[in-house]
Structure 1
Amino acid sequence: MVVGDIATGTDVLVIGAGPGGYVAAIRAGQLDLDVTLVEKESYGGTCLNHGCIPSKALITATGVAHEAGNAEGMGIHADPAIDMGGMMEWKDGVVSQLTGGVEKLCKANGVNLVEGRAEFDGENRARVAHGGDGQGSESIEFEHAVVATGSRPIEIPGFEFDGERILSSRDALALESVPDSLVIIGAGYIGMELAGVFAKLGTDVTVVEMLEEALTGYADDLAKPVVDNMEDLGVEIRLGEAASGWEETGDGMSVTTETEDGEEASYACEKALVAVGRQPVTDTLNLEAVGIEPDEGGFLATDDRARTDLEHVFAVGDVAGEPMLAHKGMKEGQVAAEVIAGEPSALDYQAVPAAVFTEPEIGTVGMTETEAEEAGFEPAVGQMPFRASGRALTTGHTDGFVRIVADSESGFLLGGQIVGPEASELIAEVGLAIELGATLEDVAATIHTHPTLSEAVHEAAENALGHAIHTLNR
């Protein structure tokens, strides 16, 4: 029996409980608004359940095994045995702890949690279909709505996801056994991160990329140490080759690629992972009913207060456009809630960091030297190689460098690029400096703990000023 439609009302309806959505809901609750958060699957969204957190858990776990098995230079001799089931159980435990924490935080802040799929049914009304037979649906009247429905992996023609042969990143992070061989289609950050994971698990990995470079969007000198390390792990990287098809073979499958010149190649493997990017999930929302039209890519245009074309409808996270980063979505969710509550809040994207959790890691924030020049600055650039860092030497990881970009006239920091150990952590100092309007002199005058990797940030600033001590001045 189908339960009849139930009508309720709320100040703020948040659709989607990923990083952008749950932050918007919690912040709105803190501001004494009546909040309803609708989630159709799992609290924490893709990031906590099928993306950021599980992938970093596996990156860490496989990194521990690889480090232990390759530490002869430190006088350590070990041959680690990986229990894939145990590793996945640990990863799932991490995910469960975080998603459970999100649910508890929402409830503690007075957020009304509703399970189901929401779509608009008018300018100030949404309908939520509850899963399962007989669960029915309900209508929710709202004064403000926050769209936070996230993104999904992009499929390519002929490589539709089946969870068996053709994997999405979500499928790959849930495998119960290690494939003997894997072709990864796409050499972006997702493909390269997972290439490292499976290579360290002992999988024979081939990465095919239709573009002529891996990690497109990052400078060559940032990507090269990563590519070199992948090749040292045994990963074969084939650039300028587009995946064109696949077929079953006697003991697996074969993926065919084609170059712009029409040259074909084939790669035998057990499974193929498609990691060519993600697309926003806005096609499930019945946007016509509320009067919003997405752009050609499915994204919702927003202003600096996270508002769409309608002042009472906001969009945060991946649906609001690039960069599709969880921490960007979190900030947008916070701002959306504060704007709804009448707070003087706005978005400022000048210091949004990005990180790639490969080995070595990449961290970037703000402008590159080229971007600074294009913006009319005369950049002062300083660099510190990790091979000259005492702490990096003691970790055995000396590939890469820290680079600082500043305005030579004022000294204000404009950006930074790091490739090397803990780059994802180190880039935060540069981002904070930009946000605070710090100068090269400010960073150089700040005493950094010795011996630490963060000293490389200090030395890069000193290098830009022309008086670095532990590296040659430019």
Structure 2
Amino acid sequence: MVVGDASLDIDLLVIGAGPGGYVAAIRAAQLGQSVLVVDKSEVGGVCLNRGCIPSKALISAAHQYEAIGKASAIGIETTGVKVDFKKVQEWKGSIVKKLTGGVSSLFKGNKIQFFQGEVMFINEHEARVFNDNEAPRYKFKNCIVATGSRPIELKAFPFGGRILSSTEALNLEAVPESLVVIGGGYIGIELGQMYAKFGTKVTIIEGTAGILPGFEPDITKLVHRNLEKLKVEINTEAQAVSAKATNKNVTVVYKVNGEEKEITADYVLVTVGRRPNTDGELGLDLIGVKLSDRGLVEIDGQCRTNVPTIFAIGDIVAGPSLAHKAFYEAKVAAEAIAGLASLIDYKAIPAVVFSDPEIASVGFSETEAKEKGFKVKTGKFPFGANGRALSLQATEGFVKLIADESNGMVIGAQIVGDDASTLIAELGLAIEMGATLEDIALTIHAHPTLGEMVGEAAEAGLGIAVHQMNK
């Protein structure tokens, strides 16, 4: 849809059509604003097109392929199973198309205009939007900047050819025989483990002492162990030095304990973080918007920048680069513009890693809680003692709750195990509502389900566990 009369004023200009931008646009339109969304690419941003959704589709396919291989353990014999990766990619694309089409339909239903192009600020109330065909000028009352982030490119590992960012890694036409992953954070682990399940020989090079930095060792060791079962080589406290690519493969030089090593693989995937998209021709600096040393936009409790008409959300502001964080900030910003008293509060924002087993966390870890000065009590329950987990052949992992010992209030939770990404929602609600261990323990959880473990962990924290010995 192309915007028509450039002389028309609009209430709200949204820059970026990713998770933050499209949610902000829809919420603002619900509140009576006339909205224009501009994005140089497609509706849905990185998350729907080149990140969250396509990666989880491929991860799901890899899980199902691996599960077929394990079916003989429960008496189901399978032979001749193979991967048609072209069809896997087509299936992934169908999911992306359905979701992005849904967002476009919501734009139409909410009378939101969309312009595919770029934006250049003229001042705090005007901007030029342009593409190869047109360059209309718009006046706006307010603007929400939601331009997202991009993969960090290392000087010694420039993207292109055999050196991949996550975007290219999600679009390979065939499963590679070998892959080197630089960076053992959540993106590197998710994609590396996915390809390992499809049969790729994967090598991980991580600069810190362990994979998935930021999560506690009792959580990450389960993922580490499963990677080793897939014959993934994990090099920690290792530094990637250089790469030499040909049209057939790429050789990576790296150092471990001062010793220089080489490895040759079909591809190298670089996943060392993401950079906020606040540079380029947008012109935030020209209208006086303050940025941090890392290029992040500084905002207040309503996502407003130091320029009163300009708001910022998502990956370009401080905090984790998570789509659901952007969703949340988008609603706060749109509501603040409409005059509502909405404020951001991150105390119950979950983090999820779609590794095997899955990892999910919300609130404080035990270490963080103690560093904050809390005297804590914890409750922990293992997947291996849960009937549903046993029937799913998913006995690895645990549910752990962290509570303030003075009042029993739940202040954190970590789950590692099958469907942790779903189970964490109850605990996010518990923290948001100020629930105690007793509140959760008194909540009747259906049997037999994985969700029972949340109640069991609360009982363990109270010292009244039934299905395990109390400590």
TM class, shorter-length: over 0.9
1:5/1:139 contact within 8 Å kept: no
Q: Give 1:217's aligned residue.
A: 214
SS in 1 for 2:9: strand
* Alignment partner, residue 147 of structure 1: 145
CA-to-partner distance for each residue in 1:153-205, whole Å, 9 max, x for gaps?
Answer: 0011111100x200000000011111111101000000000011111111111
- C-alpha distance in 2 between matches for 1:251 and 1:11: 53
Task: Say if 2:412 is the partner of 1:415.
Answer: yes
- Are the structure 2 counterparts of residues 250 and 12 from structure 1 closer, same or farther at C-alpha, using a change threshold of 3 Å? closer
Structure 1 position 7, deviation (Å): 4.0
Where structure 2 has 5 or more consecutive residues not aligned to the other structure, the ranges are none
Q: Is the 8 A contact 2:362 2:427 kept in 1?
A: yes
- Tell whether 2:69 aligns with 1:72: no
Alignment of 1:120-139 (within 5 A): 120-130=121-131, 132=132, 135-139=133-137
**Does the 8 Å CA contact 1:351/1:431 hold for their aligned counterparts?**
yes
Corresponding position: 1:394 with 2:395: no
Q: How far apart in 2 are the matches of 1:362 and 1:84?
A: 27
Q: Is the 8 A contact 1:5 1:136 kept in 2?
A: no
Residue 170 of structure 1 is matched in structure 2 by 167
Q: Give a deviation string over 1:39-92, Cα, whole Å, max 9, x none.
A: 110111000000000000000011101100122211122242111110000000
Question: For the Cα contact (< 8 Å) 2:21–2:146, is it kept in 1?
Answer: yes
**Of the candidates 253, 259, 262, which is equivalent to residue 258 of structure 2?**
262
Distance 1:362 1:5, change over 3 A: same
Counterpart Cα distance in 2 of 1:69 and 1:312: 56
User: In structure 2, what is the equivalent of residue 382 of structure 1?
Assistant: 379
Any idea what the Cα deviations from partners look like across 1:371-410, whole Å, max 9, x if unmatched?
A: 2222232111000011111111111011110000111121
Superposed, 1:61-460 pairs within 5 Å as 61-79=61-79, 80-130=81-131, 132=132, 135-162=133-160, 164-248=161-245, 251-259=248-256, 261-284=257-280, 285-460=282-457
Do the aligned residues in 1 keep the contact of 2:404 with 2:411 (CA within 8 Å)?
yes
Q: CA deviation at 1:251?
A: 4.8
Determine if contact 1:332/1:347 at 8 Å carries over to the other structure. Answer: yes
Following the alignment from structure 2 to structure 1, what is the Cα–Cα distance between the partners of residues 442 and 172?
49
Does the 8 A contact of 1:25 with 1:337 survive in 2?
Answer: yes
SS of the residue 2:355 aligns to: coil
Counterpart Cα distance in 1 of 2:270 and 2:120: 29
CA distance in 2 between partners of 1:324 and 1:272 (Å): 23
Give the count of matched residue pairs: 466
Alignment partners' CA distance in 1, 2:367 and 2:156: 39
Counterpart position of 1:24: 24
User: Cα deviation per residue 1:292-322 (whole Å; 9 max; x = unaligned)?
Assistant: 1321111101111111112211101101122
**Contact 2:12 2:33 (C-alpha < 8 Å) held by counterparts:** yes
Report the alpha carbon displacement of residue 120 of structure 1 after superposing the two structures with TM.
1.2
Shift of 1:127: 1.2
Greater CA drift, 272-281 or 103-112:
103-112
Q: Is the 8 A contact 2:124 2:310 kept in 1?
A: no
Shift of 1:5: 11
Q: Which amino acid aligns with 1:210?
A: G
**Match of residue 34 from structure 1:** 34
Deviation at 1:125, TM superposition (A): 1.1
Structure 1 residues 6-21: aligned runs within 5 Å: 6-21=6-21
Distance 1:148 1:264, change over 3 A: same
Supply the AA of the counterpart residue of 1:166. I
TM-score, normalization by structure 1: 0.96
The amino acid of 1:214's aligned partner reads I
Distance in 2 (CA, whole Å) between partners of 1:373 and 1:48 is 37
Contact 1:384 1:403 in 2 (8 A): yes
* Structure 2: distance between partners of 1:5 and 1:121: 18
8 Å contact from structure 2 (residues 124, 309) kept in 1: no
Residue deviations 1:313-356, cap 9 Å, x none?
Answer: 11011011221100000000001000000011111100000000
Backbone CA RMSD of aligned residues = 1.4
**CA contact under 8 A between 2:403 and 2:409: conserved in structure 1?**
yes
What TM-score do you get using the length of structure 2 for normalisation?
Answer: 0.97
